[in-house]
Amino acid sequence: MKKVMIGNHAVSWGVLRSRVEVISAYPITPQTQIVEALSDMVADGSLPAQYIKVESEHSAMAACIGGSIAGTRTFTATSAQGLALMHEMLHWAAGGRLPVVMANVNRAMAPGWTIWTDQNDSLSQRDTGWIQLYCETNQEVFDTTVQAFKLAETVDLPVMLVLDAFFLSHTSEPVDVTEQEDVDRFLPQRDATFKMDTSDPHAFGALVRPDAYTEMRWQQQEAMHEARDVFRQVEDVWEAITGRRYGAVEAYRTEDADLLLVTSGTITSTARTVVDERRAGGEKVGLLKVKMFRPFPTEELRGHLGGVDRVAVLDRNISPGHGGIFAEEIRSALYDVPPEDRPNLFGYVLGLGGRDVTPTVISDIIDNCRSTARPEREDLWVGVEL
Partner 1 sequence: MSERDVTKPHDTGRKIPPIAISETSTLVNPTGSWKYIMPRYEDRVAPCNAGCPVGIDIEGYMYLIGQGRLQEAADLLVRENPMPAVTGRVCHHPCEDSCNRASLDEAVAIHSVERRLGDMILAAPPPPAPERTREETVAVIGSGPAGLSCACFLARLGYGVTVFEAAAEAGGMLRLGIPEYRLPRAILDRQIERIQAAGIDLRTSTRVGTDVPWAEVDAFDAVFVAPGAHVGKDSRIDGAESVSAIRPGLEFLKEVNAGGRPDLGERVIVVGGGNTAMDCARSALRLGADVTVLYRRTPREMPAIPQEVREAKQEGVEFEFLAAPIGVAKEGGVFTGITCQRMELGEPDESGRRRPVPIEGDTFTTKADTVLTAIGEDCDLSFLPGDIGTTWGLVEVDELGESTSATVFAGGDVVDMPRSVADALGAGKRAAIGIDHFLREKAGEDVGEVPLDDLRFGGGNVSALRYSKDADPIPREAPVNQTVTWDQMNPHHFQTAPRHEDHFHDAIDLRSAFGETNFGLSQKEAIEEAERCLNCGVCNRCELCLIFCPDMAISRREDGGFEIDMRYCKGCGLCAAECPRGAVTMTREGI
Partner 2 sequence: MSQTIIKQHIPRDDLLASGHLACPGCAAPIAMNLVLKALGPETMVVLPACCWSIIAGPWPQSSLRVPLFHTAFETGAAVASGIKAGLVARGDTETTVISWAGDGGTFDIGLQALSGAAERNEDFIYICYDNEAYMNTGVQRSSATPWGAWTTTTPTNDPEHQPKKDIMAIMAAHRIPYAATASVAYPVDLVEKVKKARTIRGTRFLHILAPCPPGWKTQNDETIDLARMAVERRVFPLMEVENGGTWRFTVDHPGGSIEEYIRRQARFKHLTDRQVEIIQDEVDARWGILSNRVEHGT
The span from the CA of 234 to the CA of 228, in Å, is 10
Q: Is 106 helix (H, G, I), strand (E, B) or coil?
A: strand
Render 270-301 in DSSP notation, one character per residue.
Answer: HHHHHHHHHHHTT--EEEEEE-EEES--HHHH
Binding stretches for partner 2 (CB under 8 A): 21-22, 24, 49-50, 52-56, 58-60, 62-72, 74, 88-89, 92, 196-198, 201-209, 212
Indicate whether 206 belongs to the interface with partner 1 (CB under 8 A).
yes
Residues 6+ apart with CB under 8 A from 76: 23, 24, 25, 57, 60, 61, 64, 100, 102, 103
Q: Is 156 left (phi over 0), alpha (psi -120 to 50) or beta?
A: left
Residue selected from 3, 27, 91, 194 as contacting partner 1 according to rule CB under 8 A: 194
Q: Which is nearer to partner 2, 95 or 383 (CB)?
A: 95
Distance in Å, CB of 97 to partner 1, minimum: 5
Indicate whether 220 belongs to the interface with partner 1 (CB under 8 A).
yes
Which among 9-17, 24-32, 111-119, 188-196 is the span making contact with partner 1, rule CB under 8 A? 188-196
Type of residue numbered 290: V
The span from the CA of 262 to the CA of 275, in Å, is 11
Q: Is 45 left (phi over 0), alpha (psi -120 to 50) or beta?
A: left
Distance in Å, CB of 226 to partner 2, minimum: 23
Distance in Å, CB of 366 to partner 1, minimum: 39
Q: Is 245 helix (H, G, I), strand (E, B) or coil?
A: coil
Distance in Å, CB of 202 to partner 1, minimum: 5
Q: Which is nearer to partner 2, 41 or 63 (CB)?
A: 63
Q: Which is nearer to partner 2, 211 or 255 (CB)?
A: 211
Indicate whether 109 belongs to the interface with partner 1 (CB under 8 A).
no
Q: Which residues are near partner 1 by CB under 8 A? A: 95-97, 150, 154-156, 185-188, 193-194, 202-208, 212, 215-216, 219-220, 223, 226, 229-230, 233-234, 236-237, 240-241
